[in-house]
Amino acid sequence: MDNETILAVRSPSNRVGGPYAVVYKHIEQAWAIVALGWREEDVERPTLGIRYFGPNASTDFPRIGDKSAWLLLPDALHRGILLSLHLEPMIHYNVLQFLDEAISGQQLRERLTQ
């Protein structure tokens, strides 16, 4: 499961900004957490999303109709989840900067792909 495949999920397209970066992926259990934007009333707010990638597209979860989608993680859980993942300090710091709206999704993407 490569990062491009993970980041290609952009559903629902009228709500999802990005996804901007893969924060963490667990290949054996086939799930990933990403940093993305969620649009409501023309305002995009930073958040984290999770999804499971099955052996084929029809077994991915969650789904909206026939499209793969992201399950948003509640804001109150972001910091605890990030701490529990034992991320590299640079990744942890930049994701927090994104969630705190100190940097944009594009800036996060650039910082994590350098």
pLDDT of 43-89, one tens digit each?
999 999 999 887 766 667 777 777 778 899 999 999 999 999 999 99
pLDDT at 90: 96
User: For residues 55 and 62, what is the distance between their CA atoms, to the nearest angstrom?
Assistant: 14
Confidence grade of residue 26 (pLDDT, cut at 50, 70, 90): very high
Alpha helices by DSSP H, the chain: 3-7, 78-84, 89-99, 105-112
pLDDT at 62: 72
Q: Where are the domains of the chain?
A: 3-109
In this prediction the pTM is 0.90
Overall average pLDDT of the 102-109 stretch? 97
